[in-house]
Structure 1
Amino acid sequence: MSETREPIVAIRNLSKSYRRGAQLIPVLQDITLDIAAGEFLALMGPSGSGKSTLLNLVAGIDKADAGTITIGGVEITTLSEAALASWRAAHVGFIFQFYNLIPVLTAFENVELPLLLTGLSRRQRREHVETVLSLVGLSDRMDHYPSQLSGGQQQRVAVARAMVTDPDILVADEPTGDLDRVSAGEVLALMERLVSGFGKTIIMVTHDPRAAEQAHRLLHLEKGELTDGAG
């Protein structure tokens, strides 16, 4: 007997606008989307189409004007700011185009940052950090500062930081946008391994067709509306 699984992300009738002076600019219009657990989803579209806005709404960074987002059975659109911040810290990992590493901290210290908000002991934090730095192939670089690492290595540190709290979902905004082709390929292979080997769900915004090819599913955003990437 086949088992029907609830999607880990269920978006229903989601809309978002921004005010520019007296003008209301619609960014997302009535978006409905299901994302399965362990899926690698890519979002493409022209600048201003709402890709990053949708990513920020799913990650709980921004609030929708209308509609609901339910993640892992929690309707995050109803949470208070404090509850949303707590939920986000436990369930979402972030990967950015420009790494967002702190220059004065080592790779180890950058990865450890999200764990400082938890109740883990120093020894437990070290174990978590060493595990994820090993996972991304940087055990021998943990005491290096960002300036001592290549772009690809910095992004792998950022992936380790996103993974260190063992989140359900990774949101990646142009994760290969600042990398050369070889480094981009290494980071994409790592992200695919997080999905296939660790069951993570990844939602990635990208302009790079090669990056999008690595995803299980591709969707396009055009003027705030979703279209199937295969169309």
Structure 2
Amino acid sequence: MSTAPLVQISHVAKSYRRGVQTVPVLTDITLSIAEGDFVALMGPSGSGKSTLLNLIAGIDRPDSGELLVGGLDITRLPEAALADWRASHVGFIFQFYNLMPVLTAFENVELPLMLTRLSRAERRERVAMVLDMVNMSERTSHYPSELSGGQQQRVAIARALITDPQLIVADEPTGDLDRTSAGEVLTMMQRLNERLGKTIIMVTHDAHAANAARALVHLEKGELIDGEAR
């Protein structure tokens, strides 16, 4: 695992407007995440962990501070450039899978490649490869409604991998799964981290899920409490 920082966060703050009030969510966050690390962001509800994940992934922007990913300050990118960067550099895994119900497993995974210049044959080869990596080669023609929760999440992991991103962000990826399926998904994420060197940042409130990570980062009331390497 490389020790060079992939994510560097310096004095980042974020707040939201709620009516006439300004509600602070993150306060003066400074954090470095090494390339190839697997980090769990933990904290109680409302601690700001999902907001921090969204900032790192370029879904939202901080009010102040600097946020570099791969040496690029993504806070300075125009919206169109930020969207392009996000599409090619970040893979997303969500709690409720976010699969298109009218598309098969194969088509869901292929979707991010449709805007690339890859040929149909190249797309098919890449999709088959990543579905095999998540042990879903036998379910390629199945629709989400025909798959279990664990199988849907494995398809979602394949979709996150399909563009070979620098960074994978996962927001409560086991939150909708039973313990057995959750364990299978976490083992798969560990393999992606260890064998492919993928940098993974995972939000979770579950200590069992957090144990799969190499390091823990704790947030409370929008502040970084501590970090613990494994």
Matches within 5 A, 1:112-131: 112-131=110-129
Deviations 1:122-164 (A, max 9, x none): 1111011000000000001000000111100000000000000
Equivalent in the alignment of 1:51 = 49
Give 3-state SS (helix, strand or coil) of 1:170's partner: strand
In 1: Cα distance, 2:137 partner to 2:38 partner: 26
CA distance in 1, matches of 2:180, 2:23: 39
Q: 2:212 aligns with which of 207, 211, 214?
A: 214
4+ residue stretches of structure 1 with deviation over 2 A?
A: none
Out of 84, 87, 90, the residue aligned to residue 89 of structure 1 is: 87
Identity among equivalent positions (%) equals 69
Please name the residue that 2:96 is paired with: 98
Deviation of the 1:207 alpha carbon = 1.0
Unmatched 5+ stretches in structure 2: none
Residue number among 190, 200, 203 corresponding to 1:202 in the alignment: 200
Aligned-partner residue type, residue 31 of structure 2: L
Cα-to-partner distance string for 1:77-111 (whole Å, 9 max, x where unaligned): 10000000010011000000000001110000000
Shift of 1:5: 4.8
Structure 1 gaps of 5+ residues are none
**2:109 & 2:180 partners in 1: Cα distance?**
23
How many pairs does the alignment contain? 227
- 3-state DSSP class of the match of 2:141? coil
SS in 2 for 1:8: strand
Q: Which letter does structure 1 place at the counterpart of 2:71?
A: G
Question: Is 1:41 matched up with 2:39?
Answer: yes
Once superposed, what is the RMSD of the aligned Cα atoms?
1.0
Deviation, 1:6, is 3.1
Distance 1:93 1:26 in 2: 27
Question: Deviation at 1:229?
Answer: 4.9
Question: What is the TM-score when the length of structure 2 is the normalising length?
Answer: 0.97
The structure-2 alpha-carbon separation of the partners of 1:69 and 1:226, relative to structure 1 and needing over 3 Å to count, comes to same
User: Separation in 2 of the partners of 1:67 and 1:5?
Assistant: 23
| Number of the residue aligned with 2:184 | 186
Give the counterpart letter for 2:24 in structure 1: P
From 15, 22, 25, the counterpart of 1:24: 22
The change in CA–CA distance for 1:7 and 1:229 in structure 2 (over 3 A counts) is: closer
- Assess, with a 3 A threshold, how the Cα gap between structure 1 residues 94 and 186 changes in structure 2: closer, same or farther: same
What residue in structure 2 maps to residue 69 of structure 1?
Answer: 67
